[in-house]
Structure 1
Amino acid sequence: MTRTAPGSSAPTGPRQAPPGQDGTVTDQPRPTGDTNTDGTDGTPDRSSWSAGAEPLTGRMHRLGERVRGFDGRRPFWWDLHLTGLLVLAALVDASGGWKSIAFDPDVSGRLVVAMSLAFSVPLMWRRTRPLTVLGVLLAAALVNAWTGAHLQAAYLQLVVVFNIALRLPLRTLMWACAAVLVPVAVGATRYPVGSWDQQFVPHLYGIALVALLGLVVRSRRDWTASLVERARRLEVERDQQARLATAAERARIAREMHDIIGHNLSVITGLADGGAYAAATHPARAAQALEAIGTTSRQALTELRRVLDVMRDDAPPIAELAPQPALTDLGPLVEGVRAAGLPVSLTVDGDPGTQPAGRQLAVYRVVQEALTNTLKHGGPEAAATVAVSYADNGTVTAEITDTGSPQSSPAGTGPGRGLTGMRERTALYDGTLEAGPRRTPPGGWRVRLRLPKDSAP
């Protein structure tokens, strides 16, 4: 669209650019797209009715949300305002408009006003007592049909039908719809204007439509409530899963720190006691004990730093930082225990093959904890035996026995995390762990671990 000054004629052909220096005229391409322009500089025409207009559905949705929000916050005031509006409409019709469609225009005015109030005022309690309100409206509807006043306010029964469909069982709704049709049948019988179906069927359609609308709104409300409840349950389950994951991680770190610190401190204690005993007579042995204490301490610090690094937010992936001793490290483990003063013999039967790192760590930690318990509780004359076997089907069995005093066994040391940690590690791989005193001479303690084939955490 091109604007022209008053009194001038609008151009009829395609828009042309001003002539160039050589007098030629070139056609300029029209702008494409749906943008409305004013024809001068290509800017959008803000006077267009569609420019920046909000969709009607968006406005209606926002308006409905506001109404529902007000209804939810102040239901009494909403019911009061709505009932007042309906009472006003019913009284306006009772002022004389009802006579234009009445079957009997000579009905008393006071009766008409009373029926109008009976149709509108009880709607204040339509949500809390819908059946009682429907009974009052049905009584007024019967009087309305019998007298022939044919008041428009009788259609307010549909509001109660809607509330019954929204809140009460389906069987109650069916009886309510049937009851609302009774005054219609009375009016059609007393004042037969036209055919029966012309008076009865439109009311039937209206009642059915309102009842279906109430069922649709009820279904949508229940569906929304179920979604909200599901979201709440998922949020609770998410929080529970997070707490369980946190507890599991804390238990895992606690097991690692217990195994690392407990074992290494037991070794250091044994080395320190042996070095103190040998310092007076064998200075060279004391120097070896001090050197072994230093090596064990540095080893413990290294593994402890790895465990603590896992808890850092800026730490690399856990798989790179977590301490992962393997079954091949059983030899150095036994050597360290021997250096602490506990005679240990190690027997390995079979080939470990390609055991997963987690299974190897579980076996290693169980052996480590069993030897640590022997160091702490076995007594000075104790000796230990470690036997590890690998079956062809992938089953791993480890048995650790010692000859320590049963009175000094872990069972008599009170609550601790040693046996608990071993059982937790075994349960991760569906294995079995047996720990208890040996009943056959020479006594002592026995721990037996068995991890089945292809067990995964």
Structure 2
Amino acid sequence: MADGAVRGTRWRAGAVTAVAFAFCLLGGVLQIDDTLGPPPVAAYVIAVVSCAVLPVRHRAPLAAVAGTTVCGVLVQPLGLLLTPLIVVPAVVAAYSLAVRLDGRAASAVTLASAALLVASTPLFGDLSWKDASRMGLVAASPLIAAVLGHSTRNRRAYLAAMEERARRAEESRDSEARRRVAEERVRIARELHDLVAHQITLANAQATVASHLFDARPEQTRKSLRELVATTRDALDDLRATVGLLRQSGDAVAPSEPAPGLSRLPTLLESFRRAGLEVTVEHEGTARPLPPGVDLTAYRIVQEALTNVAKHAGTGTARVRLAWNRDRVTITVADDGGDAPAADQPPGYGLIGLRERATAVGGHLSAGSRPEGGFLVSTELPLPPARDTAAEDAS
């Protein structure tokens, strides 16, 4: 493919040079005395020399213009008539110069070339109309070629800019697609972590109780196993609902089971109580409905915080507090056990996921050890503006 392009370029360069050579020789047919005759030797010399520099006009356009202009200046001293045909190589060089050089520089060089070509013709006596028009064409030919070359340069620059813009737009689309895929992977990982960690922690606690009481207290063992069955069934239901939530697109139909929210908080706390963690709840202010995303975030924060208490705190009690203000709800989960996670260990993915959740809905989450002992998770989530019920009733 590259070899074919090179051969095509060489063929075009050779064709342009051959055509310029033919026109230059044709210009030598017209003699100074306005008679027609075979091209003299000087015409061949001018044609050969001026066309010999054309193949380098792409790499060295200034040198090509200079060479063809010098040949044009020597036309009259060599006894030839300066015509537009004999300066065709200079016209080709002026076009190539305008294509490859800045507009102002190309214009200055082309004007200088045209001026030199016209100034090379000695004027004696009255200037006939025929001579004036001929010199006007000689001067105008490279200028017209420069204008065409400048237009070609602008068109190529425009096409290159459009191609670059299309390339950047394609890269931007690819980057946006990769970013969305990464965000979706993080979202899926966060949902599954919160769900699996909670349910597996409860199931492990219930299975541990059943194992310890299997021989000594069979009735208590059966109760723990029944609770284990209920926990695993709830885990399957939650997993099905979570996968359904993750599979839907922006305009998709909602899954058969809604995403969990604070309305399911009593059921969540009861599952922890069955696993041996006594949880107390405090409410402050007037509760208000939350947007679906904030509601799910609030539920997951309480779920993950209590799961960490059950796994790490080494205590049987925890406290959940929900404080409702005008523009935010503050949720705190505290325990009196040990610090979780340990100070010399990096934070787990649970707390990282909770911070990401809170930030995604415009909230803020903090977690750390309490001065009086234990661990505290606190988050503030934004609330939608409260409706003016008095105004609604009056209307």
Which bracket does the TM-score occupy, shorter chain normalised? 0.7 to 0.9
Q: Distance in 2 between matches of 1:209 and 1:119?
A: 19
Q: Relative to structure 1, is the Cα distance of residues 110 and 208 closer, same or farther in structure 2, using a 3 angstrom cutoff?
A: closer
Q: How does 1:384-423 map to 2 (within 5 A)?
A: 384-393=318-327, 395-406=328-339, 408-409=340-341, 411-414=343-346, 416-423=348-355
Unaligned runs of 5+ residues in structure 1 are: 1-69
Name the SS of the counterpart of 2:121 in structure 1.
Answer: helix
Query: What is the percent sequence identity of the aligned residues?
Result: 29
Query: Which has the higher relative contact order, 1 or 2, with Cα contacts under 8 A spaced 6 or more apart?
Result: 2
Q: Does 1:426 align with 2:358?
A: yes
Question: In 1, distance between residues paired with 2:125 and 2:352?
Answer: 90
SS at 1:189 equivalent: coil
Deviations 1:152-193, CA, capped at 9 Å, x for gaps: 221331211111111101222122222222111321636864
| CA separation of 1:164 and 1:315: change in aligned 2, threshold 3 A | closer
**Larger CA deviation: 235-244 vs 112-121:** 112-121
Q: What letter is aligned with 1:446?
A: L
- TM-score calculated relative to the size of structure 2: 0.86
Residue 296 of structure 1 pairs with residue 296 of structure 2: no
C-alpha RMSD over aligned residues: 3.0
Rounded Cα–Cα distance in structure 1 between residues aligned with 2:301 and 2:185:
19
Equivalent residue for 1:371, pick from 285, 293, 306: 306
Residues 284, 265 of structure 1: alpha-carbon distance in 2 compared, 3 angstrom cutoff: same
CA distance in 1, matches of 2:238, 2:6: 60
Give the conservation status (yes or no) of the 8 Å contact 2:72–2:86. no
What is the alpha-carbon distance in structure 2 between the residues aligned to residue 364 and residue 77 of structure 1? 74
Q: Summarize deviations over 1:19-53 as a string: whole Å, max 9, x none.
A: xxxxxxxxxxxxxxxxxxxxxxxxxxxxxxxxxxx
- Note the 1:67-146 alignment, pairs <5 A: 74-91=8-25, 94=28, 97-99=29-31, 109-146=40-77
Partner of 1:184: 118
Matches within 5 A, 1:50-61: none
Equivalent residues in 2 for 1:13-412, closer than 5 Å: 74-91=8-25, 94=28, 97-99=29-31, 109-146=40-77, 147-150=79-82, 152-181=85-114, 182-187=116-121, 189=123, 193-194=127-128, 198-309=133-244, 317=252, 319-320=254-255, 324-379=259-314, 381-393=315-327, 395-406=328-339, 408-409=340-341, 411-412=343-344
Displacement of 1:89 in angstroms is 4.1
Q: How many residues align?
A: 378
Give 1:205 deviation, angstroms. 3.9
Q: Is the 8 A contact 1:188 1:199 kept in 2?
A: no
Partner residue of 1:450 out of 359, 363, 380: 380
- How far apart, CA to CA, are the structure 2 residues paired with 1:208 and 1:132? 18
The code of the aligned residue for 1:398 comes to I
After superposition, give the CA deviation of every residue in 1:246-285 in whole Å (9 maximum; x if it has no partner): 1111110100000000000001111122223333444332
